Structure 1
């Protein structure tokens, strides 16, 4: 049985407090800092912190119900205690747990949940939205989204293949396996810090979910083409496009944040991707100068991220109905503005990491209603309950005049 030291509970409490109650703090970065600042923790300690931190975030509402207390700065240790008891870990005699009534909590484990929102640990408004948009079986998707995400690698085919990468990682004591139907993807068999491997330092792979890898293939860029990645961010999909194009042709990576594009430049150097040009969107003139120039345009649109809650569970507590309204408007504008970049006969792919039709099919239908010079060639919805990976949506739109 895991022996808990008090500094682990204190570290967990501090990380949860920061993630839930400090503005603009994202779980992955909070955990990264927590582990970095506690160098004396061993591998088992670090695993306990990582797993507990994400589990408590993921199951916040269920734990609140069992604890009979809301997540609040003064109640965090009650929530941690409830989580430990649920995991059948005996509470140590720490001051943090002095006022915990174990029997009361354990008795509540036997109660039925008042709602599916509590059972699946999401806000009430999100349950309403998912039921409206996905129908009576919405909870199947939420069940899948509550399963922690696997770590998926994308072999950088500018330097290696999935087969060769598997062998190289095996020499570094990293076990991976192939994923049927995903030609460049490998799944990590055990949780490992792959960023420390020589293979990563040599640019042989990137971390990229299997569903996300389908987006670049769906765009189907060819060597020599002119491609615009209009919401490039730190460039996960941009780097894949460079590999698919065999470093031939020209990719313009656009974003409104210069710091993200700086990260992309660093990643491109490590990947050996030489056909990428980054460009900050400073105003409408940036897009104006690129009109009618692209064979392919990828719009990896800002979205709710509901399709990737398995890897970003804190997002469900940060999302609001007001945010959803703002994102619908932003998606419409981005789709409209970036459609002008496509050459006649060219292809635009609109993609989101959401499973909500309001962000996906409805946006595309609205666009087509107002842009008769485009036609929908194909659309794909990837549901977590069926793929066991992230939820994604992709629509291929062809400019016909």
Structure 2
């Protein structure tokens, strides 16, 4: 594709996003667009996807610049103009050469668009200092929450959330070791290196079609961020235990727990939606984790036979997903204050009900991929104050038992962040139930 054709593809994807429901993720829209145009080569697919995501990452600045320059309501074409003029790391051809209306290229600039482009070329506009939430590409209502969580480091965390996330794999130790997985990937021309914290992780170099690799289709590796791997390892699930993953979803952490248990014991994957559990069935089969039970349950407390039955209960809670913004750059703009309130209510409800499943001496593990205090420390502290019979188990103590690398810090809970640890943002709190007298 010529450069102008890539721009036209980005415009069409952005227009597609405008036509879709607000809750539909950009990843799905991008994938659908490219799937319908299989003639687009892999290099061009990567370029179009990267530029689309970059426009989405800079939505606050693009909107502020357009308004600051007295621009009208930003159309996808105007958003791309602002991106090319002010955000692009490349030095594109003059805009009138890219928007020339030739075959596959965007239509020529309208009079209004040409005026917008001229205003965007004003050096004073580039040098103007935007407010903190714009500079950090965070919704205005969320910036104070990040500042409350990280203080002076909030800007660095926000900047890290704007970067492209690495591709991490978890080695399925039911089928092989990290060394055998790395060798298998290398045979397919996929270079990888050991992740710095997770003993079962590999970080892939470059962007590769991993789902088509033999190592993936054979179940030897799974796509999973290093932070998610660490959260699963901190469950300290062991062979012969009874373990419940009560918000199992697509089964990512369920698979990690199955490997830690070496296929022995009872592992129950639960979710409110049967469809989510059905989607995990193929992954479980591919991974050699046939011993996993799957059960849809709208109410965790309904089946009293499960009460007090598990050594480990993992609550990988529904959350805002702020820690995964690197992977879903449009998600930050879809999150609303009402959404956050709904998540916190649901998290509290799930925690309270999941506690009943923990046997005396067992552990409840609360995990989110959020960086917001309301979903993390506030929830953990509230649980301890509301539910008798549980005590906090310092994350550092468990880390030292199950991992050989130094503890990355945080007490009594663990918070992993892109800026500090190179992982997605994760929060882990561990609670232990008192042993019956």
TM-score (norm: length of structure 2): 0.87
2:7 alignment partner in structure 1: 9
Partner of 1:218: 234
Return the match for 1:390 from 420, 424, 430.
424
Q: Deviations over 1:230-260 (max 9, x none)?
A: 0000000000000000000111100011111
Structure 2 counterparts to residues 94-243 of structure 1, below 5 A:
94=101, 95-99=106-110, 100-101=113-114, 102-107=117-122, 109-243=125-259
Tell me by how many angstroms 1:135 deviates. Answer: 2.4
Is the 1:17–1:73 Cα contact (8 Å) retained in structure 2? no
Contact 1:81–1:97 (8 Å) recurs in 2: no
Asked whether the equivalents of residues 349 and 394 of structure 1 are also in contact (C-alpha less than 8 Å), the reply is yes
Query: How far does residue 348 in structure 1 lie from its aligned partner after superposition?
Result: 0.8
**What is the aligned-residue RMSD (CA, Å)?**
2.0
Equivalent-residue separation in structure 2 for 1:71 and 1:351 (angstroms) = 43
TM-score by length of 1: 0.94
- Cα distance change of structure 1 residues 72 and 207 upon mapping to structure 2, 3 Å threshold: farther
Give how far 1:384 is off.
1.9
Quote the residue 1:359 is aligned against: 375
The answer as to 2:285 corresponding to 1:269 is yes
Provide structure 1 residue ranges, at least 5 long, that are not aligned to the other structure: none
Tell me the CA shift for residue 121 of structure 1.
1.4
Is 1:369 equivalent to 2:385 in the alignment? yes
Maintained 8 Å contact 1:287/1:341: no
Are positions 1:52 and 2:86 aligned together? no
Partner of 1:85: 85
After superposing on structure 2, the runs of 4+ consecutive aligned residues of structure 1 that deviate more than 6 Å are 69-74
Q: 1:27 aligns to what?
A: 26
Structure 1 residues 389 and 97: alpha-carbon distance in aligned structure 2, compared to 1, 3 A threshold: farther
Q: In structure 2, do the counterparts of structure 1 residues 195 and 276 end up closer, same or farther at CA, with 3 Å as the change threshold? A: same
CA deviation vs aligned residue, 1:160-218 (integer Å, no higher than 9, x gap): 11111111111101111112222111111111111111111111111000000001110
1:282-297 aligned within 5 A: 282-283=298-299, 286-297=302-313
| Alignment check: 8 A CA contact 2:66 2:72 kept | no
Alignment of 1:334-349 (within 5 A): 334-349=350-365
